[in-house]
Amino acid sequence: MKICIERTDRMGDMILTLPIIQGIKELNSQAEIHVIASKKNIKICNHFNGINKIYERPTSISTFYNLRKSINYEQYDYFFVFSPSWFGLLLGLLSKSKTKAALILQSRYKSNFFSKFWKILFSNIFFSHLKVVNRLKQIQNDQNIHQTRMMMDLVFNAGISLAKDTKIGSIFPTKFKIKKTRPMCLIHLSSKWINQHNSEDKFIEFLESLNHKDYTFYLTTDETTKNKFSKIFNKYLVCNDWQSLMNDDEKIIICEDFNFEKWVSLINQSDIIITPECGCVHISSLTNSKLCIIYQNKISRKHYEEYTPWKKEFLGLETDDNQLNSKLLNFIQ
């Protein structure tokens, strides 16, 4: 059995897809699984040994033609479109797969009969299996819309058996080691921390209250960080390379411009991870660290339930909670 999965979006989406791949292989040991990945999430695929072949999403007409030629040559038994884009639907149509299946997620924010109307119509005509999820309706009815569960349902309905309780362990190596003198807590400085409920000054109050904790706190950054945290960069030590990080005994350190391997190495070695809902959540879900996820409010938390870590316990908190800082302090034990 030969299967192709199109998943050309973000890192978190790919991590939530890994249980599908592993679940299929647990019950179908001879299955060969190929993945079409994006430039962002291909680094996830490169570290997961359950994938037999990886294609990167093309960026030009000529490379699209080459990809189409490759997938036609493979003659897949199944072609699954998990990313909500016309690219995957078109590629599935052009493939010579015996069974074509698509997952289409309608808006989680508003009720609209025409939400994804043309994609649904297209898939009904050209695909043998289609799962359409009215996310807003299911959220309102407190139904389970976890993205991994929805993908599993589509695979099962298409005729493939898979283990539905499979759990993904650590897949990333720790290439950069830290000699721990204290337990480690990683706090990811995504811009999602700061909104109408939570200011940078309030966040600094939280950081200052950490001084009595016997931890080293590593504040990791992304491309959004400096837009929201200018005061913090002026207040705490900023490390741009691993060696200076190793040689410093500050309790609170900003890890600026760390590449993916260094960032993952920090995550792997952390005892506690606190992060807004973003890619850091999903990388952290593959570790044994205690995990706390920060949402904007209860409504946001409900809307993002489909992206929660698969088979990992975590604490969820909201930035509009007046007791947020004290709850975070209690979490760091």
| pLDDT tens digits, one per residue of 181-228 | 899 999 999 999 999 889 999 999 999 999 899 999 999 999 888 888
b or e along 289-326 (b: 16 or more beta carbons within 10 Å of the residue's beta carbon)? bbbbbbbbeeebbebbbbbbbbebebeebbbbbeebbe
pLDDT at 25: 97
Residues 242, 175, 19, 34: is their CA dihedral positive or negative?
A: positive
Mean pLDDT of 98-106: 95
Query: Would the pTM count as exceeding 0.85?
Result: yes
Confidence of residue 174 (pLDDT cuts 50, 70, 90): very high
**Nearest residue to 311 via CA among 204, 134, 166:** 166
Distance between CA 62 and CA 60 in Å, rounded?
A: 5
Q: What is the mean pLDDT of the chain?
A: 93
Residue 331: per-residue pLDDT: 96
Query: Could you read off the pLDDT of 244-256 as tens digits, one per residue?
Result: 787 777 899 999 9
Percent of the chain with pLDDT over 90: 77
Check residues 270 and 243 and name the one with the higher pLDDT: 270
